[in-house]
Chain A
Amino acid sequence: MKDSEVLLRISKGDESALDFLYKKHYRMMTNLVLKNSGTEEEAKDVYQEALMVFWQKAASGKLVLTSKISTFLYSICLNQWRKELDRKSRLSHEEVDSEEYQDFDKKENARIITDCINELGDTCRRILTYYYFDGLNMTDIAERLNFANTDTAKTKKYKCKKKLDALVLQRYSKKDFFD
């Protein structure tokens, strides 16, 4: 499969094109981390994260490739791994406990949001993730989810978002009450 075809398929939401990329470049990308004092697990995480960046840009149609996909992915992996090494180096000089303590509240909020997202119906989850992560416009969402038209997609997105807002705010206020 050529790069242009991969890009086209991802822009149409074909997740199997992502599978293809993952398999194709796995060894090359993970070797970058493995040869720079990373573990297999870290290498896989970095590569998967790079693919997420690529997916997000390609799915939204905002990506204009001026190099091969492999070159693009390699540069993201390199940056990600540098950042991770920096973070590790900082952590070794600071008190880990204090950072974890500061993050506790954020993690708790994130957990609440995840729970609320899981409480939404499948259609709502897809509309919201397609809109906010994949960067699709309402026409594409309507097409992908077989809605009658763009206006239907807009209305549904609005309602789903309001539902999520309400669910999370309700949990936040409960949490504040118990705190």
Chain B
Amino acid sequence: MSINQHIEELTDQYLRGDLSGAELRSFEDLMASDPVVQEHMDFQRELVKGLADHRKMQLKSRLDAIEVGAGTFGSGFAIEGVAKIAGGAVVATLVGTGIYFMLPESSDELSTEDKVEIVVGETTSAFDKVDVPSMPIPLVSVNGESDAGGEMKPSVVSSSARVVIKPEDTANESNPTKENVKEEKSPDFIPQVSVPELSEVSDEKEFVSKDISIPEVSDNDIVGEKNLDPVDIKTFNRKSAEIRYKYFEGKLFLYGDFKKEPYEILEINSKAARQIYLYYSDQYYKVEMSDEIKALAPIKSQKLIDELKIIRENKLN
């Protein structure tokens, strides 16, 4: 019997396990009696096995990329949840303790709501790193996202959120005058300050002082504000000349025969983006963002290869 579409359909159903009862027995009899059908079946079985292996490899590569170190404690999601709760509790305790010990007794008459005003902002903490001396008065609050707005009372401002600038007299920084202290303690004093956007601070002429050396903002500084942690790389050895990869959320998973030959990563960080290239076995590859496992194709542009060579050689030197 020649292989017609009906036999092909039956073969598919047989290989998928969809045949049963009389249909199954009938088809098995046909295979046993007809070598052409049997041969067709053997060939199709090999193909289906190949497809199954391909799919399994795809799913297993996915599993290989999963960190299982914390498996003894249960799921990672649970650990993450516990860590967040514990972290939250620690922060709350620290804030509470800080308020208890730091608040002056005279402010007891203030309501609890008035006492705590936490201002959080990444830009604020980054700015704190700059060595800026303090100004006697008034205190300037830089509002973060969580700032409820309105006036701020000096005695209750969180230190992490406060930027104090003293453009004239830097010598008084560590020895505040009595007048200053007095003004700070005054519960009635409510400064009316127009608050500049922090992003504009570097351009604000009013903040420039002759006596203070504030580092200038350069492109590098701006890049430095981004997350420039080195790429987290995890390798999986497989006996194949082909390199496969997956790169997302700053994590790079590489699958290849790296025992035979090591690879090198070239990371080019610019203001616009981060570019990652891989050098392996005399070839350069570009690593692009992908949450699926893909094969790396070698770069063919000679111009780009030449540029990468220069970068790589400079790096080695």
A interface list, Cβ under 8 A from B: 15, 18-20, 22-24, 26-27, 48, 51-52, 55, 109-110, 113-114, 116-118, 125, 128-129, 131-135, 164-165, 168
Contacts and interface: CB of A to CB of B under 8 A. Distances in A.
B87 interface: no
Interface of B: 15-17, 43, 46-56, 58-60, 62-63, 66, 68, 71-72, 74-77
A135 B15 CA distance: 10
A51 B47 CA distance: 22
Given A18-B59, A24-B75, A52-B59, A113 B50 contact: yes
Contacts of A129: 51-52, 54-55, 58
Contact of A117 (B16, B54, B72, B77): B54
B76 A110 contact: no
Given A132-B15, A135-B16, A20 B54 contact: no
Contact of B68 (A18, A22, A117): A22
A52 B76 CA distance: 21
B265 to A, nearest CB: 25
A26 B47 contact: no
Contacts of A22: 63, 66, 68
A131 to B, nearest CB: 8
Given A20-B75, A24-B75, A113 B47 contact: yes
A110 B71 contact: no
Contacts of B52: 129, 132-133
7 contacts: A19-B62, A19-B66, A51-B59, A113-B50, A132-B15, A132-B52, A134-B55
Contacts of A26: 68, 71
Contacts of B47: 113, 164-165, 168
A116 B46 CA distance: 12
A109 B17 CA distance: 24
Contacts of B74: 24
Please name the 5 residue pairs, one residue from A and one from B, whose CB atoms are nearest each other, closest first: A113-B50, A26-B71, A129-B55, A133-B55, A27-B71
A55 B68 CA distance: 19
B64 to A, nearest CB: 8
B56 A23 contact: no
B243 to A, nearest CB: 14
Given A22-B66, A23-B75, A133 B50 contact: no
A18 B51 CA distance: 20
A168 B52 CA distance: 16
B56 A133 contact: yes
Given A52-B59, A55-B59, A110 B53 contact: yes
B127 to A, nearest CB: 39
A18 B62 contact: yes
B59 A23 contact: no
